[in-house]
Amino acid sequence: MKNLLIIANCFGGEYWRHLASVAKIREEFSPTFVSTYEQTPDARYHALLEDADVIVSQNVKNIPAYANAYIAEHKKQNALHVSTEFWRFDGYWPYSSASHRINDWFWFPVDEFGTEISYENYMNHELDRVVVREHFETELEKLREIDGRSDISIMEFFMANHQNDRLFSDHWHPLPPIYKRVAEELLNRLDIKGQIPDLPADGVNDCRHRLILRSVRESLRLRFGEETFTFLGRRITPEDYFYFARFLLKSPGFVDLPSIQAVKARFDDFFGVPSV
């Protein structure tokens, strides 16, 4: 077995989830993950780096031991290193409030226009179309700048598909089509043939979501539908999500909820049945 070292934030699990859908990858590679949330690498890190046959990292800039230059200096001579990026895109939310990320587990749609607003009034809130377009173009340039630092580019894929497929669940998290694009390129770098299927958004993305207003959809000519989506392991409608978000936002002690399990417990209480 070859050693595959993935140095990344939550993107790393999605890289492997998509790669592992190909049998040859599962047969030939043993993955190890180093989380970039750990500011100081543990004692095993250098051994992992030196033993890895393939390294997929995330072009970390603020932790020296995870930086590209450090990896290049300490990896074994013939190891393949592919540097990716922490792709982010805020182009669908031009009037996002400063408090939309209330805690580590939940991105809310409701605090922008008040917590008592109805779903229909929220979704139909009319935004200045010029501002929507200008914001989108500004965020597009930011995405292009981020993309330019990666060994694997997603920009051409994004431009060709963003109107027909939702590609970001929120500002910080791509959806599976982008991870699939990255994984396909990794297969090419490894000279491995295989078909990666369209995977559901039930990995890192299933507790991250922001609604896109209808005026934004119309301004940007977004054609993808959102009749339902995966959230905390269950298919729900955007309206269900909206009212759960509003319920949770107003719940006593919400900001101090310690874990995703605590959020799921509130989710079960709200819908009256256990989540998957």
- pTM of model > 0.75: yes
Q: Which of 96-105, 219-228, 249-258 has the highest mean pLDDT?
A: 219-228
Q: What is the pLDDT of residues 137-167, one digit of tens each?
A: 999 999 999 999 999 999 999 999 999 999 9
> Which of 85-89, 227-231, 251-255 is predicted with the least confidence, judged by mean pLDDT?
251-255
How does residue 98 score in pLDDT terms, banded at 50, 70 and 90? low
User: Does residue 209 have a pLDDT over 80?
Assistant: yes
Per-domain residue ranges for the chain? 2-84+173-199, 88-172+208-276
Q: Would you state the torsion angle of the CA atoms of residues 154, 159, 164, 166, taken in this order, to the nearest 10 degrees?
A: 50
User: What is the mean pLDDT of the segment spanning 98-103?
Assistant: 65
- Please say if the pLDDT value at position 100 is more than 70: no
User: What is the tens place of the pLDDT at every residue in 216-239?
Assistant: 999 999 999 888 888 888 889 999
CATH 3.40.50.12080 fits 2-84+173-199, yes or no: yes
Would the pLDDT of 88 be above 60? Answer: yes
Assess whether pLDDT exceeds 80 at residue 112: no
What's the pLDDT at 105?
66
Q: Does residue 255 register a pLDDT over 80? A: no
Mean pLDDT for the stretch of residues 181-202: 95
Average pLDDT over residues 82-93: 95
